[in-house]
Structure 1
Amino acid sequence: MRVTRPLALPLLALSACAAGEKDIPVAVRIANATPAVTVTARGETAPVGTANADAADDPAIWRNAADPAASLIVGTDKKAGLYVYGLDGKVRDFLDAGRVNNVDLKDGVNFGGATGIIVAASDRNDVAHAKVALFRLDPASAKLTALGTVDGGKGEAYGICLGRDDTGLSAFVVLKDGTINQLLLDTSAAVPTARIVRTMKLGTQSEGCAVDDRTHILYVAEEDVGLWRFDARVSGSITPTQIAAVDRKNLVDDAEGVAIAPIGEKDGYVLVSSQGDNAYVVYRLTDDSYVGRFRIVDGPVGGAEETDGIELMLGDFGPTYPHGLFVAQDGHNAAAAQNFKLVAWDDIAKALGLPE
């Protein structure tokens, strides 16, 4: 959730402020945080259609293995619906889906005997009862087709991520109060169905999540508390383990979007948006250790601030993003409506001194 912050406050007020960190100017919060390296985006999407509002929120990436430069990005305008962008940032499609907050996708999903790309979005058109809106993405036309909605449980839908194991395809719906419902999806018929197979719980408002299908671990950001992991398997424990706390040094509230960079069989990184100081934090998957922090600053295109959703996929995305693509929502985007910034994984890895 984007939080509007004052641009300046007297220093005396900063020391005495009982309301806490969120009343402190961003410049002060950055100064107090652990230093971050900087990168610049190599591209950006067109702004979402909702102007003068906190509207763009969360991206998902589909990689075209046959023609990597023709890969696609799906992004939410949480006031209006779903966009599909090319890597050039141009809009390829828009579907009026109403108030869809977060989005994820999976390729190779069965649709009545044929395989394709399924897109799932957290639908909060009814704030009292969560839904998961499901769509088919046609990679040739870049068009979305609505498949229907399934029940996500009582409460306001916020985050969503997809995970796959030998029991099938699951959608993890993160409700605003920190409840996480795991839905087992059946997309084999023309109209998808789902059932809630288990429920997990964090104590306060949560949103961003991602699933590592190699290790079957679910990662969830609790905005004012920290980053957690759960067993993502239907038969797994529902007890969370904390990876990192919001300490206002490495991770500054709100902790928002979550993304994974899988390397090899178990290694890689989990990234989380440190929204409170316009940064992104990287932790190692194998031991939860802190790796580093980075920011997206002005360059060929503008930087990114107050980021909600993020996504990362390693692999070839063509000459501009040869080893991976990181996409981050930009909460300001100068005078235009909010959009998404595109960063090469090579630039992030180099800035942090990570092995190529």
Structure 2
Amino acid sequence: MLPALLLSACTTTAAGTGAETEAARPRYPATDIPAEAETVPVGTGDADAADDPAIWRNAANPAASLLLGTDKKAGLYVYGLDGTVRDFSPAGALNNTDLREVRLADGSTRILVGASDRTDRTEPRIALFSLDGATGKLTVLGSDSFLKPGHAPAEAYGFCMGAPLAAGELARAYVVLKDGTVAESRLVENGGRIVPQHLRDVKFATQSEGCVVDDVWKTLYVAEEDVGIWKVPLSGAALTAQPFAKVGAADGLVDDVEGLAIARKANGHTWLVASSQGDNAYALFDAETGKPAGRFRVEGGAIGGTSDTDGIEVVLGDFGPAFPEGVFMAQDGNNAPKAQNFKLLSWRSIRTAMGIR
């Protein structure tokens, strides 16, 4: 259970995103934490366009790390930690994105970026890119369908990547279809290309989107928007969902439950962060015990806060003087009068404000 403070919720009116209408939702208390930086707005103005971020940490030069973010109407951005645009790939309607460093068959390494490609709303695809860590430039590797021919029309929506689970694969990719199906594929080298090969599915009853993989514990987390968060162990033969957190005061989640992110400290302790979009907040969970650990909002300061957040990401570690313990990145659904963008917080600020170790 959350502390008593969090259970004494009031009711307010919060706007959803996209085609959703305004509806009365609870607003649970949360700690306000100011944003410390923001990205340049996405190119698509006057629309729900920015969606999901990813973060690459440059271990050799942490301050030169890179941020990625989708404009789901147009393509994929690369930003520096100062929020300026380093590159943009006009790759179409890319909704969610993630990345992994992979080792190819020739022994070289590559920063592999993937995204759910919903350019064709009936044929889900995975768009793949190579990211140059030195220049910040993206190279398009292709966009491939991964379901078997003859499958029912489906729209790609959420996306996340995980470490390989078997020999001969570079990574695992998870596409959350808009009907609640999560399709798992392995990413492999084939004929000089990296391509997805579909393996298995897990199905949720209603619309889902946000997902994240805990590589250490080999667990997939999925946000079923109006229901809550599920965890799916990946080591078994079949994918079976187990409840992790529910919409409501006890777990501090207000629908829609959107982006998910894993924060792992060097000592191995793991936190799961979720976008509680319905009341413009972020819920923090101890991933090892499943217990809620508090809530925060991005509010205050000169930059402005966030609202209606879809995608989030957090990576811990040294990112230079501005972000000495890690970076939290959140889509801002209302950056008026400018187009939507992404806000950045230092993990140290979050950790200190939330009183976690």
Pair 1:323–1:174, CA change in 2 (3 A): same
Q: Aligned letter for 1:76?
A: T
Pair 1:245–1:4, CA change in 2 (3 A): same
1:2 matched residue in structure 2: 17
Task: From 283, 286, 291, give the equivalent of 2:285.
Answer: 283
Contact 2:80 2:86 in 1 (8 A): yes
CA distance in 1, matches of 2:69, 2:305: 18
1:247 matched residue in structure 2: 248
Deviation at 1:265, TM superposition (A): 6.8
Show structure 1 runs of 5+ residues with no match: 7-21
Q: Aligned letter for 1:268?
A: T
Sequence identity (%): 50
1:246-277 per-residue CA deviation (whole Å, 9 max, x = no partner) reads 11661000000000012357531101100010
SS of aligned partner of 2:28: coil
CA distance in 2, matches of 1:200, 1:237: 8
1:274 aligns with 2:289: no
CA distance in 2, matches of 1:189, 1:42: 45
Contact 1:170 1:182 in 2 (8 A): yes
Q: Aligned letter for 2:182?
A: I
1:227 matched residue in structure 2: 229
Deviation at 1:112, TM superposition (A): 5.1
Task: From 37, 40, 44, give the equivalent of 1:43.
Answer: 37
Deviation at 1:129, TM superposition (A): 1.3
1:23 matched residue in structure 2: 23
Please say which of residues 125-134 and 106-115 is displaced more in the overlay. Answer: 106-115
CA distance in 1, matches of 2:346, 2:259: 18
TM-score, normalised with respect to structure 1: 0.90
2:11 matched residue in structure 1: none
1:9 matched residue in structure 2: none
Q: Aligned letter for 2:17?
A: R
SS of aligned partner of 1:322: coil
Contact 2:187 2:197 in 1 (8 A): yes
Contact 1:224 1:253 in 2 (8 A): yes
Contact 1:43 1:88 in 2 (8 A): yes
SS of aligned partner of 1:243: strand
Contact 1:214 1:265 in 2 (8 A): no
Task: From 327, 330, 333, give the equivalent of 1:331.
Answer: 333
1:187 aligns with 2:189: yes
Please say which of residues 108-117 and 181-190 is displaced more in the overlay. Answer: 108-117
Pair 1:337–1:69, CA change in 2 (3 A): same
Contact 1:112 1:187 in 2 (8 A): no
Pair 1:109–1:160, CA change in 2 (3 A): farther
Contact 1:163 1:232 in 2 (8 A): no
Contact 1:123 1:133 in 2 (8 A): yes
Contact 1:270 1:284 in 2 (8 A): yes
CA distance in 2, matches of 1:2, 1:109: 38
1:128 aligns with 2:85: no
CA RMSD of superposed structures (Å): 1.7
2:164 matched residue in structure 1: 165
CA distance in 2, matches of 1:189, 1:198: 23
CA distance in 2, matches of 1:262, 1:217: 14
Pair 1:116–1:279, CA change in 2 (3 A): same
CA distance in 1, matches of 2:194, 2:329: 29
Contact 1:112 1:188 in 2 (8 A): no
1:156 aligns with 2:155: yes
Contact 1:261 1:313 in 2 (8 A): yes
1:196-234 per-residue CA deviation (whole Å, 9 max, x = no partner) reads 11111111100011001100000110000000100123x
TM-score, normalised with respect to structure 2: 0.89
Pair 1:265–1:129, CA change in 2 (3 A): farther
Please say which of residues 244-253 and 316-325 is displaced more in the overlay. Answer: 244-253
2:312 matched residue in structure 1: 310
1:210 matched residue in structure 2: 212
SS of aligned partner of 2:40: coil
CA distance in 2, matches of 1:328, 1:317: 17
Q: Aligned letter for 1:23?
A: A
1:102 matched residue in structure 2: 96
CA distance in 2, matches of 1:133, 1:181: 15
Contact 2:165 2:172 in 1 (8 A): no
Q: How many residues align?
A: 333
SS of aligned partner of 2:278: helix
Show structure 2 runs of 5+ residues with no match: 1-15, 148-152
1:318-341 per-residue CA deviation (whole Å, 9 max, x = no partner) reads 000000100000000121000000
Contact 1:158 1:207 in 2 (8 A): yes
Contact 2:129 2:138 in 1 (8 A): yes
